Structure 1
Amino acid sequence: MSRTEARTTLALPDRGEPLADRFRATRSLTESLLEPLSEADAIIQSMEDASPAKWHAAHTTWFWETFLLRDHLPGYRLFDEVYPFLFNSYYEAEGDRIARGRRGLISRPSLAEILGWRAHVNEAMDKLLPDPAHADLIRLGIAHEEQHIELLLTDIKHGFSMNALGPAMWDAPACRQPAQCEGWLEHPGGIARIGHQSDGFAFDNEGPAHRALLEPFALSRRLVTNGEWDDFISDGGYDDHRLWLSDGWEWVKREGIAAPLYWREGEQFTHAGWRERDPDAPVAHISYFEADAFASWAGARLPTEFEWEAIARGQDHPGFDSLAGNQLNEAAPPLPAGTGELFGDCWQFTQSAYLPYPRFRPAKGAVGEYNGKFMAGQWVLKGASCATVRGHSRPSYRNFFYPQQRWQFTGLRLAQDR
């Protein structure tokens, strides 16, 4: 079996499957994505925003051990007393930890030892999975690991892009899709109910549900494409200070930004190495600053997160499915292809600052550090990307990044006032 064939044999179960099956499938997907990597690949930390693939595999295991097994399985003993220091991320309540920018220095334990720890924790979790008393924490742990699956993919892509050889994680790129639908999704405005509104799982930052007043607006049916971004560059978009926010213009000049991340003449870097750039595919790996400048150049604007969610809840164009699109379903090379769906190609920037909703209260205990303490200086993105595990996102989901960050599959969908 070739490496490419091996990468396309495992799919996550449908969201209706039992919780235990989802747990096992999620854990297996993480491990399948590690298989193409060498020990050296798995330790790369190419920048402070990224973490080594081995660290992601370990941190997600630390999460299960810390929040489920340690506290809820009688007699459970830590696999290794040092691992909590090495693989805690940012949980102050869980004590000291290695600095984020030094994760690439964790040459030991080896990847094989981490995989052994994962197997140990998986076996121990079998005792907790059937107990409905732990279901909420298990759902949180699954969602947490799904997030790290996406981070593992984007972090290793950034690391590989820094290698002059342009190495590939997969042998072949994803297939191209037909061109996206044209036109606009119209909304008459009014009072919209925003936030998580069902009995299903959601992160705490998705609630409480509340009302938002919307003016009439329209949201593009498609994402901005590579070809349109080439036109923006050709028209001097990166050289016209009038298009840019002040902080964005300083960032462009300071960092010498002249194109999206992973672009060079006619090509872009992918998980399959350097490939010809498809002009009809959605542009990806752009910052909030770039998205806002492009919108200004195009005579449009970015949507608010409330507008985006209102369309996602109410739009009814043929084939709409919140689980549809080009999201990671099998272990296959993620590449924005232009599916015509709100979900699945790129996370989409909004003009909304990442702030708490009215009456928001973080969860109690250490898991309360998961989202709330990051509500400053970041921007909300909606949808899902081609590297997002299928079904992980939903209309109320709030992703968030700092305005200069662009190593994730970030793109934009324009909005207009009506």
Structure 2
Amino acid sequence: MQTLLKNTITKDRFLEIRHQTALICKSLKPEDVSIQPVEFVSPSKWHLAHSTWFFEQFVLTKYKSGYKVFNDDFAYYFNSYYNNVGKRVMRANRGTMTRPTLDEVLKYRTYVNQKLSDFIEEGISDDISEVIEIGLQHEQQHQELLIYDIKYIFGHQPSFPVLDFQVHLLKENQPQEFIHIEEGVYEIGHTNEGFCFDNELGRHKVYLHDFEISNRLVTNSEYIEFIEAGGYKDFNLWHADGWEFVQNNELKSPMYWHKVDGKWMQYTLQGFKELEGDLPVNHITFYEAFAYAQWKDMRLPTEFEWEVASKQFDHGQLWEWTNSAYLPYPNFTKVEGALGEYNGKFMVNQMVLRGGSVATSKNHCRPTYRNFFTADMRWLFSGIRLAR
């Protein structure tokens, strides 16, 4: 599932990461936490409970002698996709659950936090610490998903609510330059230092031709040029699937953009604001990223090109679409049982993104981290870096 050279699990670190999830949700009202406007958005209450269930299911019930499950039904309510541990509420139905209440879910978090904190202080083996580490990394993934989901829920309301937990993009106002990378054989994948997920393992060599990659992301003002040039109307720029997606969904701009009285406006977690041209364009599908690159007579980098070049540019503003399908590295293996379902079974019909975003926990990302989504997803914090 992952590699971890030494036990870095402490009670304080466990509680700090758990507390960060609660901070994201601090200003939410009870009416906010159960809603699920579309299937790919999960209710905030579900995130709070699911990340708790993970520790209960994979650590406490398996390793803690005499542990009493908080509620026998919660495994059914809050399992996500782990077929090995039983039946579950289907993803599209997560928003139908007004029960258990938010109060019960918060009590559940408190209960599991206390039990696992005590367990850590009793002393744990390296095997158990590795499972807890996966749980903490998993929680940090859900912290980012929480921000995506809350923004979607708020951004599709007429009042455009403000969240008190803030993330801010920075202006990409440096002159655009293209970094040259020589052709050659390069090593790809995680080394032996620290945690990684199994999909980063299988360090291997790839041959790359000469290429150039931009030192910065595409900005809002640059993307407006694409829109005004008819980018969403020219089928020649798009994959067939992308063009069908644009037509079926009547796309004319990135998610959260609105044209009001001749001005481009954008919903942010700070509210409904006039679009800032120097900020990187955000909430872009792979289809849109590809079409924009075609319009510029350029392309998206492969994930291997991105990893090799990443030491020479800043990243971490937005997840950056690559032109690489999400596939296993050489000698990829997965562990037996439920934790083996974490990454491997999704290695089809997905595209790789690299780099992290402002919503990503800063100690959670690394140059070899392989995020992945289907090409039509744009509620994530995603952007465009050009290559040629």
Correspondent of 1:28 among 6, 14, 19: 19
Which blocks of at least 5 consecutive residues in structure 1 are unaligned? 1-15, 318-340
Confirm whether residue 289 of structure 1 aligns to residue 283 of structure 2.
no
The AA in structure 2 aligned to 1:270 is: T
Contact 2:218/2:281 (CA < 8 Å) preserved in 1? yes
Q: How much does 1:170 deviate?
A: 2.8
Tell me the alpha carbon deviations over residues 277-320 of structure 1, each in whole angstroms, 9 at most, x when there is no partner. Answer: 110000010100000000000111000000111112x43x6xxx
The AA in structure 1 aligned to 2:318 is: C
Quote the Cα distance in structure 2 between the aligned partners of 1:377 and 1:192. 26
Sort the Cα spacing of 1:211 and 1:173 in 2 relative to 1 into closer, same or farther, 3 A: closer
RMSD over aligned CA atoms reads: 1.7
The AA in structure 2 aligned to 1:83 is: F
Quote the Cα distance in structure 2 between the aligned partners of 1:24 and 1:64. 12
Q: How does 1:235-254 map to 2 (within 5 A)?
A: 235-254=229-248
Q: 2:124 — aligned with what?
A: 131
Tell me the alpha carbon deviations over residues 88-122 of structure 1, each in whole angstroms, 9 at most, x when there is no partner. Answer: 00000010000100000110111121111111101
Sort the Cα spacing of 1:204 and 1:178 in 2 relative to 1 into closer, same or farther, 3 A: closer
Quote the Cα distance in structure 1 between the aligned partners of 2:23 and 2:119. 24
Correspondent of 1:47 among 28, 38, 54: 38
Q: How much does 1:199 deviate?
A: 3.1
Q: 2:92 — aligned with what?
A: 101
Quote the Cα distance in structure 1 between the aligned partners of 2:381 and 2:353. 11
Q: How much does 1:19 deviate?
A: 3.9
Q: 2:220 — aligned with what?
A: 226
SS in 1 for 2:196: coil
Confirm whether residue 374 of structure 1 aligns to residue 346 of structure 2.
yes
Correspondent of 2:157 among 151, 163, 187: 163
Q: How much does 1:22 deviate?
A: 2.4
Contact 1:147/1:388 (CA < 8 Å) preserved in 2? yes
Q: How much does 1:175 deviate?
A: 7.7
Confirm whether residue 183 of structure 1 aligns to residue 177 of structure 2.
yes
Q: How does 1:381-400 map to 2 (within 5 A)?
A: 381-400=353-372
Quote the Cα distance in structure 2 between the aligned partners of 1:404 and 1:122. 36
Sort the Cα spacing of 1:17 and 1:82 in 2 relative to 1 into closer, same or farther, 3 A: closer
Confirm whether residue 305 of structure 1 aligns to residue 303 of structure 2.
yes
Contact 1:93/1:366 (CA < 8 Å) preserved in 2? yes
Quote the Cα distance in structure 1 between the aligned partners of 2:169 and 2:361. 18
Correspondent of 2:83 among 89, 92, 100: 92
Q: 1:80 — aligned with what?
A: 71
Quote the Cα distance in structure 2 between the aligned partners of 1:111 and 1:372. 33
SS in 2 for 1:280: coil
Aligned-residue identity in percent = 43
Q: How much does 1:181 deviate?
A: 4.8
Quote the Cα distance in structure 2 between the aligned partners of 1:345 and 1:354. 21
Quote the Cα distance in structure 1 between the aligned partners of 2:165 and 2:110. 28
Quote the Cα distance in structure 2 between the aligned partners of 1:283 and 1:99. 33
Structure 1 window deviating more from structure 2 (78-87 vs 205-214): it is 205-214
SS in 1 for 2:105: helix
The AA in structure 2 aligned to 1:59 is: H
Contact 2:319/2:383 (CA < 8 Å) preserved in 1? yes
Q: How much does 1:23 deviate?
A: 1.5
Contact 1:186/1:219 (CA < 8 Å) preserved in 2? yes
Sort the Cα spacing of 1:17 and 1:372 in 2 relative to 1 into closer, same or farther, 3 A: closer
Contact 2:43/2:95 (CA < 8 Å) preserved in 1? yes
How many residue pairs were aligned? Answer: 375
Q: How much does 1:164 deviate?
A: 1.2
Q: How much does 1:173 deviate?
A: 7.7
Which blocks of at least 5 consecutive residues in structure 2 are unaligned? 1-6
Quote the Cα distance in structure 1 between the aligned partners of 2:175 and 2:60. 48
Q: 2:317 — aligned with what?
A: 345
SS in 2 for 1:381: strand
Q: 2:106 — aligned with what?
A: 115
SS in 2 for 1:392: coil
Contact 1:243/1:296 (CA < 8 Å) preserved in 2? yes
Tell me the alpha carbon deviations over residues 234-265 of structure 1, each in whole angstroms, 9 at most, x when there is no partner. Answer: 00000011101111111111110110000012
Structure 1 window deviating more from structure 2 (378-387 vs 167-176): it is 167-176
Q: How much does 1:158 deviate?
A: 0.4
Tell me the alpha carbon deviations over residues 203-250 of structure 1, each in whole angstroms, 9 at most, x when there is no partner. Answer: 111111111111111111100000001000000000011101111111
Correspondent of 1:272 among 259, 270, 273: 270
Contact 2:172/2:217 (CA < 8 Å) preserved in 1? no
SS in 1 for 2:255: coil
Contact 2:322/2:352 (CA < 8 Å) preserved in 1? yes
Sort the Cα spacing of 1:45 and 1:180 in 2 relative to 1 into closer, same or farther, 3 A: farther
Structure 1 window deviating more from structure 2 (85-94 vs 38-47): it is 38-47
Contact 1:22/1:142 (CA < 8 Å) preserved in 2? no
Confirm whether residue 150 of structure 1 aligns to residue 141 of structure 2.
no
The AA in structure 2 aligned to 1:303 is: P
